Amino acid sequence: MDWLSLFALSVLLAWSGGLSPAVEARCGAGGAVVFNFGDSNSDTGGLSAGLGYIFPLPHGRIFFHRSTGRLCDGRLVLDFLCENLNSSYLSPYLESLGSDFRHGANFAISGAATLPRNQPFSLFIQVLQFFRFKSKSLELVAQGAKNLVNEEGFKKALYVIDIGQNDLSVAFSLNASYDEAVARIPSIISEIRNALKMLHDSGSSNFWIHNTGPLGCLPQKLALHASDGDFDPYGCLSPLNNGSMEFNARLNDLCNELRSEFNDSTIVYTDIYSIKYDLITNSAKYGFESPMRVCCGHGGPPYNYDPKITCGNPQCQVCDEKLKYISWDGVHYTEAANALVASRILSTEYSNPKLEFDYFCSASMEH
């Protein structure tokens, strides 16, 4: 077992006295079916496949030991959740070679947002891609194809929504006032509502919805807005974090409303913001150092971030693999941080309702 697995295990042992759910599969051999919609926080290679972008090493240096299209040094939170469900890592919908769609597909694309809705690859476009994927899969299953999700599989599958960070980022980068920026939030929530309704009306019934993390704690934002001076006691930008919390409150309200409207469905809202803010503000407790400093970046203290020289550029300096950083490239988290975030998600402490993740285990594909 490598140091990352040992670290994640030791942290959870300290929390609960049990085995880390981030490394323990909870489902049987059949696993579960998962369809994911989102942005770079859960993109397993969609942007790379769709637009031909290559994210060279050191991206992927941990665990995969090669570039996989993930903006991370290793696994994402989504990867750990799939491990827990005994499912294969989700292949991007747009990847034409080597894809494995036995346990679902990933429609998330780096840079994706909810608005504008007709711009690739918005949440709306991702849902339309899903409908095409579903139609083609069922057509092939009817013709005798194996190792594809069948009708029952689509019905029982878990549908994960993890989007909104880019919408907020744009809102706060338009030189708008705080009130003007948060005034965009209802439109973002409306698009998420529309996506969930489209999925529900097509027969989907299990939804797992992540809120957005503390935008004001990202080293990228801190480096770009360092002169603003409106920081909280932990060095995060208060307006951006307040905007994140406003978005999250509206998203939580939406989930509460849809539980009544979709009374045949399971809708789990997960508070990623609280998990990540706790990790950042108590980083030393969890064995991390320099919570606001980028592992793979350029520019030196305090953030090591330069928007013109980002991770993958030959001029970038990369932290030692033995060091435990939270931020990989200024926006995305390291595998070590993602492992802890996944562990907290799986604890159910931050979910409403507090549903065990193995509730979604099912053998629901054509063999």
Q: Which residues are catalytic?
A: 40, 329, 332
Angle 263-351-87 (CA atoms, 0-180°, nearest 5)? 85
Non-local CB neighbours of 7 within 8 Å, separated by 6+ positions = 287, 324, 336, 339
Taking the CA atoms of residue 79, residue 212, residue 216 and residue 330 in that order, the dihedral angle to the nearest 10 degrees is 20
Query: SS3 for the chain, per residue?
Result: CCHHHHHHHHHHHHHHCCCCCCCCCCCCCCCCCEEEEECCCCCCCHHHHHHCCCCCCCCCCCCCCCCCCCCCCCCCHHHHHHHHCCCCCCCECCCCCCCCCCCEEECCCCCCCCCCCCCCCCHHHHHHHHHHHHHHHHHHHHCCCCCEECHHHHHHCEEEEECCHHHHHHHCCCCCCHHHHHCCHHHHHHHHHHHHHHHHHCCCCEEEEECCCCHHHCHHHHHHCCCCCCECCCCCEHHHHHHHHHHHHHHHHHHHHHHHHCCCCEEEEECHHHHHHHHHHCHHHHCCCCCCCECEECCCCCCCCCCCCCCCCCCCEECCCCCCCCECCCCCECHHHHHHHHHHHHCCCCEECCCCHHHHCCCCEEC
Alpha carbons 226 and 228: distance in angstroms, whole number: 6
CB half-sphere exposure, 204, CA atoms < 13 A: 24
CA 277 to CA 1: how far, in whole Å? 28
